[in-house]
A and B are shown apart, each in its own frame.
Chain A
Amino acid sequence: MSDAAEVQASLEETLKTEILRMYQEVAETPDAEFHFYHGRSAAELFDYDPEELEAAPEAAVDSFAGVGNPHLRADIQVGDTVLDLGSGAGLDAIIAARKVGPTGKVIGVDLNPTMCEKARASVEASGARLECHAVRMEDLPLPPDSVDVVISNGVINLSFRKRRVIEEIFRVLKPGGRASITDIVSGKQLSQSIVNDPKLWAS
């Protein structure tokens, strides 16, 4: 491995650890202060349907850490297969599960196995089922052309390999399938000190 590749691998591992730590903290202590707004107030700010929030388990709403509302433009239909990339505590998956109904399917992917368990429990508590994979989003364990809709909320920006993530979304979507993503973007090149700071990256 070249020096540059070793540095990259080391940064990725450090970042993975920091992301796991931060989002574990959001799940376990949702009342703590973070860089970002989260929980019910954030979901309300992003125009989540109040009925959907009321129907969702409180734990999923309290640990919501999205940056927008991918459901506003996802156009999820009954019977669809939906992939929630970075499913976190499960709020977006729960809403998707209510939309696809019993003939559809919701698949979650999250780096954190604890979050996967939490999301699975929350979706089941809401009367639906979630298949959740605790894996990196750069290598999705799904066959090509198998998903109708991909949703994601504030997660792709956490990856060092964004092109790879988007290529994976393209691969798993059925022809004619759609992606509805909310995420953080930067209009300028970030300084190296910011890029190399896992705490800022994970926030």
Chain B
Amino acid sequence: MFRLFEESGFTEVKSAVVPGFRFRKAATQGMAEAYGVKAVMMTARKPG
């Protein structure tokens, strides 16, 4: 998604992992970890 923001023309694209995010069900969380699934915060600016 980071790349999509940059390719769409945004500047100042930044991202960080959302601390504490996890899925409620253990099986879903296990699958998420296996696939590197995580929640991120992203900010970006349209050039002025």
Residues of A within 8 A of B (CB): 33-37, 45-46, 67-70, 72-73, 154, 156-157, 162-163, 166-167, 169-170, 173-188, 190, 194, 203
Contact = CB atoms under 8 A, between A and B. Distances in A.
Given A162-B4, A170-B8, A185-B37, A35 B25 contact: yes
A194 B24 CA distance: 18
Given A177-B46, A178-B46, A163 B4 contact: yes
B23 A35 contact: yes
Given A182-B18, A190-B35, A175 B47 contact: yes
20 contacts: A35-B23, A45-B20, A46-B18, A69-B18, A73-B43, A163-B4, A166-B1, A166-B5, A166-B10, A176-B46, A176-B47, A178-B44, A178-B45, A179-B5, A183-B39, A183-B42, A184-B37, A184-B39, A186-B35, A203-B28
B10 to A, nearest CB: 6
B35 A166 contact: no
Of A34, A36, A154, chain B has the most CB atoms within 10 Å of the CB of A36
Range class of the B interface residue count = 20 to 34
Interface in B1-48: 1-2, 4-5, 7-10, 18, 20-25, 28, 31, 35-48
Contact of A185 (B1, B20, B28): B1
Of A46, A72, A176, A184, chain B has the most CB atoms within 10 Å of the CB of A184
Nearest to A157: B1
A185 B40 contact: yes
A157 B25 CA distance: 19
A34 B25 CA distance: 8
Nearest to B40: A185
Given A46-B18, A175-B48, A203-B28, A181 B42 contact: yes
Interface of B: 1-2, 4-5, 7-10, 18, 20-25, 28, 31, 35-48
Contact of B46 (A37, A156, A175, A185): A175
Contacts of A46: 18, 20-21
Contacts of A68: 18, 21, 39-41
Contacts of B38: 184-185, 187
